Amino acid sequence: MSAQAARAFMSIGEVIEILRADFPDVTVSKIRFLEGEGLIEPQRSPSGYRKFTHADVERLRYILTAQRDRYLPLRVIKDHLETAEQDGPPPTRPRAVAGESPPAEVRLSRAELLEAAELDEETLAELEDYGLLTPVARWYDAEALTVARATGALARFGLHPRHLRVLKAAAEREAGLVEQAVAPLTRRRAPGAAGQAGETAREISALLQEVRTALVRGGLRGILGR
């Protein structure tokens, strides 16, 4: 255990250092935002500095895990925490709740997507205008959330939805390659053909991703002179 983790109280910087191994994107502003939304309530020193306990850190770990792994909006996480507190200490990991969909079946409203991705309405509208994500019957799935979150992070580096159109075109071409390769399997009527087609599509997609990653790395070496 690190020195700061062994102390009774920790500063916000020390909390970030503890959490960063599991949540590389956690920031001071993120923790302050969660405090402003009422999900955490750190104590304050006489001079006004935040003082975090081990319980605060575990609560933050729960919140961040619920956002990342279960795609839960903050209002839902807050409800879970309040319910758990009635029965004892808050859990350290989000548990599946009866009636909830698993992460693979995420369904978010527009407002929930904006909250979960910490995105503004203008950026979401741009993503839709450029075809980078599209709601289905007014609902957004896990892929839409991934795109929205990544877009928000890329904005810090000056990359915006208009710059990502090339990725959309490349993804469509890649999907076309996979479709071409599995077409013979999808036309078969034999038992298990559909499952084999799906497995083959996933394998081809993974191989294409390896090629794409290697090509990008090679390009970066050229740019960086390495």
pLDDT tens digits along 106-142: 788 899 889 888 899 999 999 999 999 999 888 998 8
pLDDT of residue 223: 84
Neighbouring residues of 54: CB distance < 8 A, sequence distance ≥ 6: 5
pLDDT of residue 97: 42
| Partners of residue 43 on adjacent β-strands | 51
Every domain of the chain and the residues it spans: 1-99, 101-159, 162-224
| Confidence class for position 7, pLDDT limits 50, 70, 90 | low
Mean pLDDT, residues 51-72 = 88
Give buried/exposed letters for 81-110 (b at 16+ CB in 10 A, else e). Answer: beeeeeeeebbeebeeeeeeeeeeebebee
Mean pLDDT, residues 196-212 = 86
**3-state class of 108 per DSSP?**
strand
pLDDT of residue 87: 59
Q: Which pair of structure tokens corresponds to residue 23?
A: 């949540």
Stretch among 5-19, 22-36, 49-63, 83-97 having the lowest mean pLDDT: 83-97
Domains 1-99 and 101-159 alike in fold? yes
Asked whether the whole model's pTM tops 0.75, one would answer no
Burial class (CB in 10 A: 0-12, 13-18, 19+), 3: exposed
pLDDT tens-digit profile of 142-154? 888 889 988 988 9
The CATH code that applies to domain 101-159 is 1.10.1660
pLDDT of residue 207: 87
pLDDT of residue 116: 84
The CATH code that applies to domain 1-99 is 1.10.1660.10
pLDDT of residue 226: 63
Q: Choose the most confident range, by mean pLDDT, from 21-25, 87-91, 157-161, 190-194.
A: 157-161
Between these two residues, 63 and 80, which has the higher pLDDT value? 63
- E strands, the chain, in order: 43-44, 50-51
Mean pLDDT, residues 11-39 = 89
pLDDT of residue 128: 94
